[in-house]
Amino acid sequence: MKVLVVGVGGVGGYLAYKLIKCGYDVDVFATEKTNEKIKKEGLKIIDVNKEETVYPDVKINGIYDVIFVTTKSYNLDEVLKEIEGHYGTNTRIVPILNGIGHFEKFKNINAKLIKACIYILSNKSSLNVIHKKTPLFYLCVEKDEILEKLFEPCSDLKIKFSEDIDKDIWKKYLFISTFATLQSYYQKPTGWIMEEKRDEVEKFLDEVIKIASKEGIDLKGEKERVIKQALNIPYESKMSMQIDFEKGNKTEVDNLTGYLAEKSEFINDFYKKLKEKA
């Protein structure tokens, strides 16, 4: 299969690496500086304590069977222009982004949209280096025979082919919107948030569950799961949005917090203050 991964950050870089290890020739495409660095030195993956370098092709060329889009949501307009002309009606386009609202951007694409979300703790530590800090990898993707075939050789990856992908995406959104918002607001990691702001965590989760219910998604019982998950990840863990705030980079605050702020006064208070910082 002809595969393209657009975006070589913590998600896209690691996914490209694993697909290469599964035997695929993978094309990747990112920012100009990242592309040049990978061309010269390869893509280095630090998977917990194991290090390995792979050499994907840095290009967009021809029509692809599968295109994974793993960029930040605010780059989507540019990405859609880059991949124009490189997909057909049988191409699977798989956005693996944070949030809910970005799927609207793909509604006029003449290809098959496959929804997905991922659980992974990995960051881009330099232009061509991805550091995956824990063994966690869980890709939840809409059930599709081409994707099932693609991942068949990747027996070491935990993948769920979902019959209810919208609910699975909301389950991920419940976690990431809560902790990305509160961590960015307080500029503190997950452990501190759970120790010092547990009441706000629970209130935020309640608000997201309420919003999801109005949109036809039942997240009953998910609050307890998210709290347990947060208590079990490393104390110093940070969401990518917090890291972007720390570095003064553009952030996904509109996608991760703004989408909910329109529907919740409690969340809107955090959103307004974060927008002042952005």
Query: Which residues on neighbouring strands pair with residue 29, listed in sequence order?
Result: 6
Residue 260 burial (C-beta neighbours within 10 Å; 0-12, 13-18, 19+): buried
Distance from CA of residue 237 to its chain's centroid? 16
Helix (H, G, I), strand (E, B) or coil at 127: coil
Residues of 1-38 as b/e, b for ≥16 C-beta within 10 angstroms?
A: ebbbbbbbbbbbbbbbbbbbbbebebbbbbeeebbebb
Whether the CB-CB separation of 71 and 162 falls below 8 Å is answered with no
Helix, strand or coil, per DSSP, at residue 92: strand
Distance CA 111, CA 66 (A): 10
Angle at 212 between CA 211 and CA 217, to 5 degrees: 155
Q: Is the pLDDT of residue 56 over 90?
A: yes
pTM of the model as a whole: 0.91
- The answer to whether 230 and 201 have CB atoms below 8 angstroms apart is yes
Q: What are the pLDDT digits (tens) for 187-230?
A: 999 999 999 999 999 999 999 999 999 999 999 999 999 999 99
Share of the chain above pLDDT 70, in %: 100
Name the residue with tokens 């949005």: 241
pLDDT digits (tens, 9 = 90+) for 123-146: 888 999 999 988 989 999 999 999
